[in-house]
Structure 1
């Protein structure tokens, strides 16, 4: 199963770019693709219009048979071992990944994700109970996925 991570625009603050790039490099060894979609300027529309414009871009990047994971502060807090189990299920074609070709994990823009994305999602993950800047959320997600992959691969990166 392929895994694609969709991120809004360019990372901010730029000081986090090196950390993001490091985890993207590490994740490529597991076949993970990272793509950016164009985010909207917050002041150009109402908050709902802004989120829906981003949702429309996200939906255009999805394919039939995708397992969509939305990262949202109102989602279920995901733990490393749960994430690793989902990755294993994807590799083996087991529930809930049976019949899915790709897992797509999406992070919202500055205002978060539109409700339409949350509703379409197969899973909604909270990366933290804290609201965090988009750049921080990106790095947390990338590191979390990398750590989950190392659990699946029995790599010593994750010490329990």
Structure 2
């Protein structure tokens, strides 16, 4: 199985990098994980214009990543699910892409292209924290599917 995280984010070193690396290593028993951070100049410019312009720039930047994979978008208005429901999203898929938007979220047009729209909760968190939570849930989901005791 392949899992790709695609996010609107500047590529920069983070204190969370060792955590990401550890979680990806844990997941590697179940799937190959890639992490793509995208922040083109169009997004930088759009941020100076408006939230709507920013959303359009995110859609443009991410639209090339939508393919035959099962696409899951993280969005504040998405469905809040528990870890068992999350594990069902992983079950029987060959390729999954998770999308993390920019500061202004996603356009409805982008959301309509998603196979699932989920929320990590009602609290607001930085993209760096959201990525860590997402990776942990991916590992937890695979643990649930394989009856590994980690999820208990």
Normalising TM by the smaller chain, what interval?
0.7 to 0.9
Give the alignment's TM-score, normalised by structure 2.
0.84
CA distance in 2, matches of 1:121, 1:5: 14
Other-structure match for 1:67: 70
CA distance in 2, matches of 1:107, 1:121: 12
Asked if residue 49 in structure 1 is aligned to residue 67 in structure 2, the reply is no
CA distance in 2, matches of 1:35, 1:155: 25
Task: Give the match's secondary structure for 1:15.
Answer: coil
Asked if residue 146 in structure 1 is aligned to residue 139 in structure 2, the reply is yes
CA distance in 2, matches of 1:105, 1:85: 15
> Which structure 2 residues correspond to residues 2-41 of structure 1 after superposition, within 5 A?
2-10=2-10, 14-39=14-39, 40-41=43-44
CA distance in 2, matches of 1:76, 1:12: 30
Q: Using the TM superposition, give the Cα deviation of residue 13 of structure 1 relative to its aligned residue in structure 2, in angstroms.
A: 8.4
Cα displacement string for residues 111-142 of structure 1 (whole angstroms, at most 9, x for unaligned residues)? 22222221211111001111111111111111
Give the unaligned 5+ runs of structure 1. Answer: 91-100
Give the unaligned 5+ runs of structure 2. Answer: none
Give the alignment's TM-score, normalised by structure 1.
0.80
Q: Considering only aligned residues, what root-mean-square deviation do their CA atoms show, in Å? A: 2.1
Give the number of aligned pairs: 148
Asked if residue 110 in structure 1 is aligned to residue 114 in structure 2, the reply is no
